[in-house]
Structure 1
Amino acid sequence: MFRGVLPFCILCVLASPCRADGDGEYHTPLAGEPGRVTFMGREVEIPAVDRARMNSITLGASLLEPPQGQTSALPVAAFFHRRVTERSHARAMIALFVNEIEYDRDAGGLDVVAQFENETLPVAEREINHGEEVRGTSLYFGTLIGAAGIGYRTPVSPFQVDNDFRVQLLARAGYFYAHREGDTSPGLWVPPDTALLGARLRCRFDGLRRNLLELPHKGVAAGFDLDFTHRDRWRGEEGGSGNRNYAQFRGHLVGAYGVPGISSDRDRFLFALYGGITGAGKGDSFNAFRINGTPFPSEQYDLAWPHYSGVVFDQVLARGYATATAGYRRELTFFLYLSALGSYIWADRSRAEAVDRVTFRDRQGGAATVALDSAFLWNSSLYLAWSYESGVMREGRSGSGFTLMWNKLL
């Protein structure tokens, strides 16, 4: 990051583009690399950043209009940690009630891999129907899962800290819980608490080069997860074993390239494809995929989570899904980027048929987002966005959202 630039107003930014040193051809500053640009007649030094050793915090919120049920604002707070050496890779995303931790250690050509994740929200979840909460569907439920196994990792072009090809085979064990609250309908089926056992095959490729703000600039990333899970004490809603054993597949493809016919480094075409399916129709509200409306993905591990460019940090439960996002990003100046994105979604999503019955139904829709990404004071950055969503998030009711997030390197 850099200091001492942002006091200039955005009108001056639009009127006074940067100039590059050297051959006079402008090149977008890239993540981690030192550089020098001329901005409004002043030379600005961009210091190098050790991307192998990073800590950051993210704070922010989304405002929803109209509210989703009783929720008019969704807060965001998370801590990010990354340490990469020749022998190990460590990464953690800590948000207190939703966390992801991974540590990989080279053991002579193969990695020993350990992972932990949990989703243990302290508030009851309720189904949404036409933007209104169905109070009778209210339940507390969550999971804690640990995994261990072996993996293979090799660097790939452009050979930055997050560019690699990985394959991992993991054994997984965890715990699922569910219980009622005061509003829960007496007739709503509640599954038993149970141990979770299973296996995961994971494959990742990250060939993206990122810009100064860690946004995808050039290249592609792709991957998939294939999971098999056994729920030990499971009883189905109709009795018997129900969906005790199930398999799930999910995959992604994300890319950024120059705009055809435009040679400028400032103009980028963005795309993202995501899909997931639960085998043999064995999906339910408690093993469903969680689809998030998020900023366009960039961080190596976040690339794999289902992306839909709608209202930020809300979750749709789906047995199967497919999303496609395409957009354009313009570098207004070396620290300020304007993006416009459109998304399509198909989801076999959960919905409340009655106060005591949750089923799944095919839904299709679209979303549009206009966003600004900017460097800010104190080695930080800002994300500001407005999004419109046609009704999949609110299960039948369209709406918009305004999001502001602040990320600070520590």
Structure 2
Amino acid sequence: MQLADRVQSLTPSTTLAITAKAKALKAEGHDVIGLGAGEPDFNTPNYILDAAKRAMDEGLTKYTPAGGVPELKNSITAKLKRDQSLTYTNEQIIVTTGAKHALFTLFQVLLNEGDEVIVPAPYWVSYPEQIKLAEGKPVIVSAEESNDFKITPEQLKQAITAKTKAVIINSPSNPTGMMYSEAELKAIGEVCLEHDVLIVSDEIYEKLVYTEEKHVSIAQISEALYHQTVIINGVSKSHSMTGWRIGFAAGNKTIIKAMSNMASHSTSNPTSIAQFAALAAYTGSDEKVTEMKDAFKQRLEVLHNLLIEIPGVECVKPSGAFYLFPNVKKAAESGGFENVDSWVKALLDEEKVALVPGSGFGSPDNVRLSYATSLDQLEEAAERIKRFVNNHQS
């Protein structure tokens, strides 16, 4: 049977490929250190687990409105007011089955065939694929490593055409961990306003920032940018709730209504129990969030210091998320490898350390390391990488 063209055009996930191989090696009894995880290694806080149990005990296990229960929408609008000083009504909020589904649904309701979305690279692996599934065209703009992997207003302006519908801004970023400053966002926003380009602001890592500079949403910079932006966020990273699958989009009422209508024909609604767990996350104490952030900050300091001591490895220090994105091109070349992908495969084979090659993120000279694992594991992984590089010095 012939599959649909839209499915055949998808690019297989390099992240999943590496993860599958690492799991296979573990199953064979090998001591594998996996640094590919895109999720916190902490359990969901107990007060959130308790809220989910209460929801079950109280019979809150039925269908909900497609766009989410009013109580959760209320807590999201309160969160946006509290954290970003942004005012939204419930009509401007849709609760989705994870932030990924918010993005997927947004592109489905936004794009017609051939519409273009500007995607800064390095990018999260699903952005281009979701755009293609909506029959749009991802326009990749390479952000320079020397500019901390952030695109400039000039680059954005040059990429805009008559078919440009939107641009994605992911800050802090997956895979780089870099964060745009308020001044940088303002400059990018001015270009978007001038050319009427919608801003898709992916803020899923907003709570995981390790510098004195605070996270800024581009929507809070001006009233004009507020109306030009759709915010994507959720509880997956901030509250260690990746498996609960609760995200949200906030923005223009017309867009949000269209997304809700589409969700009613796809998922029906996000899981009821998970919605009430997310309600507890947004209305409860941030104490556990802060504890998790402090642990990530310590791991970042340790792992970054260890990596930059390895010959041929260069690593810009990120501001947030829980990833490092070192450039290992020199290490791969000096080791006689054809490319970084080959270097990553050999590292897994020889030293049993699983990294994600940057080619999957549009940056073939880099690798992504997640520090969402214990300090002991991170230190051991760095030692193995150093040994691997030294063993392959030409």
The structure showing larger relative contact order (alpha-carbon pairs under 8 Å, at least 6 residues apart) is: 2
| TM tier, smaller | under 0.3
Larger radius of gyration: 1
Higher helix fraction: Structure 1 or Structure 2?
2
TM-score (normalised: structure 2): 0.24
